[in-house]
Amino acid sequence: MCSPEEAALLRLEEVFSATLARINSLVLQPLLVAAPEPSDPRGRECLQLLQRLHRSSQQLWEVTEESLRSLRERLRRPDAIGLESLLLLRGANHVLQVHVEYIESYTSCVVVQAFQKVAKRRSEYWRGQRKALRQLLWGVGSEGSVGTALVQALRQPLTHHVQQYVLLLLRLGDTIGERHPARELVVQATTVFGNLQSFVKQALDQAVATQAIWHTLSSRPRDALCTPARRLLQDSRDMPVTITPLRAERVLLFDDVLALLQGHNVHTFDLKLVWLDSEQDGCTFHLLTPEEEFLVCSKDPQGRAVWQWKLTQAVCQALRGRKDFPMLGADLEPSAPPLCRSMAYTFLEEGRLCQATYEGEWCRGRPHGKGTLKWPDGRNHVGSFCQGLEHGFGIRLVPRASEDKFDCYKCHWQEGSMCGYGICEYGTDEVYKGYFQEGLRHGFGVLESSPQAPQYCKYTGHWERGQKSGYGIEDDGDRGERYIGMWQADQRHGPGVMVTQAGVCYQGTFQADKMVGPGILLSDDDSLYEGTFSRDLTLLGKGKVTFPNGFTLEGSFGSGTGRGLHTQGVLDTAALPPDPSSTCKRQLGLGAFPVESRWQGVYGPFRDFVRAGCPGELQEALLGFHVQSSRELRKSQEYLCCERTQPSDTEGRMDNILEELLQHRDPEALQQYLGKALSSSLHPLGKLLRTLMLTFQATYAGIGANKHLQGLAQEEVKQHAQELWAAYRGLLQVALQRKGQAPEEEEDTETRDLQVHGVLLPLMLPSFYSELFTLYLLLHEREDSLYSQGITSLSLFPDTKLLEFLDVQKHLWPLKDLTLTTNQRHSLVRDKCFLSATECLQKMITTVDPREKLEVLERTYGEIEATVSRVLGQEHKLPMDDLLPLLIYVVSRARIQHLGAEIHLIRDMMDPLHTGGLYDFLLTALESCYEHIQKEDMHRLPSRRDSGEPW
C-alpha cells in the first residue's frame, strides 16, 4: 500500500510540472524571442543570463517529470516497486543540483535586473500578460510593475514547491516507521531539501540586497562592481566600520571581493588574497593584502565580531571556489582560511614589482614559497620567495635591450638580491660561475667569454662588490697572455706575474693595469733581465741582462719608433757560466702571493658552511651546484626548469654523509671514505676539490704551463691538502656535535702534517697531477735530456759489458743462471739479467702517489738483493758501494722517461715521516744514479774492440 504522503507528492509534482511549463511559455520564451538582439554589452549580458535561466528551467522541468514518472510507477504497482525507487529518495542529490542551478541562474538575473530591462523594451506586450502572470502567483496585488510580476512569477512557485517537499518528506518519515528499508533514504532526502530551503532563502535575500545596492552607488563604482555572479554579504551602512589608513567612505563585502569606496573611486581586493590577522584587540582587527595593510575598526565588539566572521567565511568560500551550502559558514570544510595559498596577482603600485604578475604560493599577503614572477618588459623569475622577496634558489631571465637575447641568472637569492653561489649566462655569451653578495659578484668566481669570441678572455679569482679584487688569474686570448697576481677595482694592482704564450715571464708590481718600478723578465732561452719597464712591458731605463752563457749586459735600455731596442752599457764576457739552477730554475711569485691567502674565496664558503652546522638548505648556496648550459632553450619557459639537486634531498643526504663519516674513523676505513668522498660531486669535500682543481687548471694549464711557476704550483697543492684535511675535520666536529658527542681535541702541527701527507695528499694528488707533473717536466727538461742521452748510450752495451763498465763486482753477476752458448747468451742476456728488478722499477710510472712510487723503489731494491743473494747462495745486504752500480744498471735497463721530474716530484711530495728513513735512502740512491747517467763519461759509445766480442 502507498501512503497518503506519496499521493500528495504525486499531486505536488504534477502541479509543479504544469507550472514550469506555463512559466516557460508565458515568461521565458517571450523574454528570449520577442526582443531584438541587443547591441550594448549590458543588454547582451542580460540576454545570456535569460538563456541560461531558460536552460536550467528546462532541466528542472525534466527532473520533475522524471520524479513524476517514478511516483506514478510506485502508485501503480506498490507491491512490486519499493519506496526507495522514487527519484526524490534515490536521486536526492541530483534533484538538489538541478534546483541549485536554477536558483543561481534566477538570482543572477535578479542582481542585474535582467527581467525589468528586457520587459521595458516590450512594455505593451507585458501589460497585456499581467492577468496571466497573476494566475501563477499567490497574494500578489495587481498594482505592481511588470518587472516585479516577472520576478515573482519565476520565484514563488519554486519556493512554495521546495517548502512542500520538506513538509511531505517529514510526514512520510513519520508514517513509514523506524525499521522501514527506505527509512534512511527518506531522512537523507528530508535533510537535503531542508538545506535547499535554507539555501534558497539566503540566495534570494542576497540577490535582492545586491540588486538594491546598485541604486545607492554612482555610475562609476556601479559599473566597476556590478556583475551577475557577485553577491553582497555586508554593507558598512548597515553595520558601520572604518578602515585606516585608506579612510574609505563605505565598505562593501561581496562574496568575491572587498570593496572600499572613496568618492567615485573604488578599491577592490580579491578575497582569495586577503588575510585576517588572528590577533583581536577590542573593536579592531587587521587585514593584509598583497600591497596594503588595513586596520578595520567598528563601534563595538559585536560589530567587529560580525565583520570578522563574515570576512573569514567569505575568504574561505572564495578559496574553495564554490558557495557554502546551505548557508555562508555552514560548509563541512574548516572555516579558518589557510595562511598559505597558491594564487596569481598583478602588482599595481609603483616599485620594483610594478605591473609584475606573481603566480605561486603566498603567506600572509606576501609571495612565500615557490612561484613565478613576470614583468611586462620580459623579465621572468622562477624560484623560491620569502615574505615577498626572492629568497633561495631562483632563475631569472632578463632581456637585453639592444638584442633579441637574454641574460640568465641561476643563483641563490637572499632578501631580494643574489647572494651565494650562482651561474649567470649573459646574452653576450659570457658565463660567470661563482659567488654573489647583494646582487654583485663577490667572493670567488670565474668569468669566461665564449671560446668563439673575437677576443677570448677568462678571469678566475676573487671579486669585491662586482669588481675584480684580490688574487686572480686572467687569460687574454687576443694577446696570448696570462696574468697571475693581485687586482683592485677591475685593474691589475699589486704584485703580479705575466706569462706569455712565447714563454716570456714578467714579475713586478702593477698599478692601474700597468707594471711600475723594478721587475724581472725571464725569456724562453733563460735570459734574465732585472730592471725597469715601460707601461707596455718593454725594457726602459736602468737594468741588467744575464745571458744563459753567463755574459751580462748592464746599462740603460730604451726603444724608439722603428729603432727597436737600444742600450748603452757594459757587456761583461769574463763571467763564468752560471749554475743552471740560478736562472733556468728561477721560480716566480714565491713570497709575493702567500699560499695560505691565495684562494680564501674558495675555502671561506666551506668554513661558513661548517660553522653553520652543515645545514642542507645552505649546501648549494655555499658550496655550489652543477647545471648544464642550455642556450638553445633561453627563450623558452622550459629553460627556467634546470636540472639540479632538489633542496628537500640535500638535508637528508647531508645527514647520511655525516653519519657515514662517523662510521669510518679508523685509519684504513678513513682513507677509503675520503677517497669516495673526494671522487663524489655531491659530497661537500668533492665539491671543494673540484673548485680547487678549477683554480689550479686556470693557473697552470695552457699558457701557465711554465717552468718558472713550478714552485707556486707545488706549494699550492700542499696547501690544498691541508685545507681539505681541515675541511674533513670540520665535518667531523659537526657530526659529533649532532650526535651529542664531545668534539675531538685540536691536532698539533706534527700530527696534522702526518695525516695530510700520509692520508689526504695521495688521494687528492691525482686531481692535480697532470698540470703539476708538466711543470716538473719543463723545469727538469735539460737534465732529463742528458739522462735520456745517457740511457741511449748505455742501452747499446751488452749486459756483461755494461756490468763491467759500471764496475759491478763479478761475483755479483747473475751469469751462472745462463747455460746458453756465448752467442745465444749475448743475444738474450739483456732481457734476463736483473729482469725482475727492472720490471719492478718500470711500475713507478703506473702510479701518481709518491708513497706508492717509493714502495716500487723499495721492491726494486728487494729484487736486486734477492737476485744477488741467489747468486751468492746466501742472504746478502748490499752496501752503498755495491748497490749504486747495480741500481744504475737496473735504471738503464728500465728506461724510465723523465726520471728527473719523477724524482723531484717524489722528493717534494714525500711524507715527512720518511725523511731519514729507508725511503729517503733509496730515493737518494736513485738520485745518484740519475746524476751519474747524465755525466759525459756515460755517453761514450762502446765499440766492437772494447767488447772483444761480436755485437
pLDDT tens digits along 55-106:
999 999 999 999 999 999 989 988 888 888 999 999 999 999 999 999 999 9
**CB within 8 Å of 699: residues ≥ 6 apart:** 460, 473, 484, 709, 712, 713, 716
Cα 794 to chain centroid distance, Å, stands at 61
CB–CB of 731/658 below 8 Å? yes
Bridge partner list, 250: 261
Whether the Cβ atoms of residue 802 and residue 892 lie closer than 8 Å to each other: yes
* Segments in the chain below pLDDT 70: 1, 34-36, 121-146, 278-280, 331-334, 535, 560-563, 577-584, 625-652, 815-832, 936-951
Residues 639 and 357: their CA atoms lie apart, in Å, by: 19
First to last CA, the chain: 131
Listed in sequence order, the residues at least 6 apart from 193 whose beta carbon sits closer than 8 Å to its beta carbon are: 92, 96, 162, 165, 166, 169
d(CA 189, CA 69): 18
745 phi/psi in degrees, rounded to 5: -70, 150
Cα 35 to the center of its chain, rounded Å: 62
Q: Among the residues of 701-846, which ranges form H helices?
A: 710-738, 749-755, 761-779, 781-794, 799-805, 822-828, 835-842
CA–CA distance, 877 with 600 (Å, rounded to integer): 51
Specify the pLDDT at position 823: 45
H or E element that contains 505? strand 505-511
Do the beta carbons of residue 487 and residue 475 sit within 8 Å?
A: no
The pLDDT, as a whole number, for residue 629 is 44
Rounded Cα–Cα distance for residues 249 and 893 (Å) = 104
Distance CA 532, CA 508 (A): 9
Alpha carbon distance 349, 353 (integer Å): 8
Q: Cα(490)–Cα(478) distance, rounded to whole angstroms?
A: 18
Contacts 24+ apart (CB under 8 A), 637-643: 637/380, 639/395, 639/397, 639/408, 640/372, 640/380, 640/382, 640/395, 640/397, 641/382, 642/395, 642/410
CB 327 within 8 A of CB 201: no
Take residue 657 and report the three cell numbers written for it: 654523509
Residues shown for the chain: 951
Burial of 564 (0-12, 13-18, 19+ CB in 10 A): exposed
Facing residues of 499 across strands? 482, 505
Using DSSP, state whether 580 is helix, strand or coil.
helix
| Positive or negative: CA dihedral 133, 135, 138, 139 | positive
Please give the model's pTM, rounded to 2 decimal places.
Answer: 0.81
Q: Which three cell numbers stand for residue 252?
A: 562593501
Q: Identify the CA nearest to 831 among candidates 798, 872, 858, 804.
A: 798
Give the span between the Cα atoms of 116 and 95, in whole angstroms. Answer: 29
pLDDT at 381 (0 to 100): 95
pLDDT attached to residue 824: 40
The pLDDT value recorded for residue 626 is 52
Using CA atoms, how far apart are residues 831 and 818, in angstroms rounded to an integer? 12
Closest CA to 907 of 712, 755, 757, 696: 757
**Percent of the chain that is helix, strand, coil (3-state, to 5):** 50, 20, 30
φ/ψ (deg, to 5) at 502: -80, -5
Which grid coordinates are listed for 251? Answer: 565598505
Backbone angles phi, psi at 178, to 5 degrees: -70, -30
C-alpha R_g of the chain: 47
- Per-residue pLDDT of 585-626, as tens digits, reads 788 988 899 999 999 999 999 999 999 998 887 888 888 865
Q: Are 868 and 878 in contact (CB under 8 A)?
A: yes
The secondary structure of residue 757, as a DSSP letter, is I
The answer to whether the Cα torsion of 710, 713, 719, 721 is positive or negative is negative
**Is-contact 473 699, C-beta < 8 A?**
yes
Cβ contact 865:876 at 8 Å: yes
